[in-house]
Structure 1
């Protein structure tokens, strides 16, 4: 696998989501924590196309996989109090 030159902003752009830093932070805060047994691509807030993209990129260990993994970790973290 080649190292990705993408940033989390780029992944949000790829998913068709607002991608400014504040938008990303709001998305993560409003959707976490995901249950430990829920895979990222199976979360209910994705469109079918977004879910398919996340699943394929992760399973194929593709260019976007490190960022998908990063987003997965962020969304599974407990909320801050």
Structure 2
């Protein structure tokens, strides 16, 4: 592959890792809003705090980030 392709592929992996992490946080926020609205708690008042996923909870987030960094770094140091 061309040197530029490794940089693009690494960037795509890193961006997809960030998108997956952001979507997880949005889903956690939406589910917390459902609890506050009473839809998921059957009308009872709950004092839950939203439990956002940590960075290491999803295997694919960390895997895509590491693979993206490695491929991008390989694209930087590879000679033509």
| TM > 0.5 fold call | no
TM-score, structure 1 normalization:
0.31
Greater helix content: 2
Greater relative contact order: 1 or 2 (C-alpha under 8 angstroms, separation 6 or more)? 2
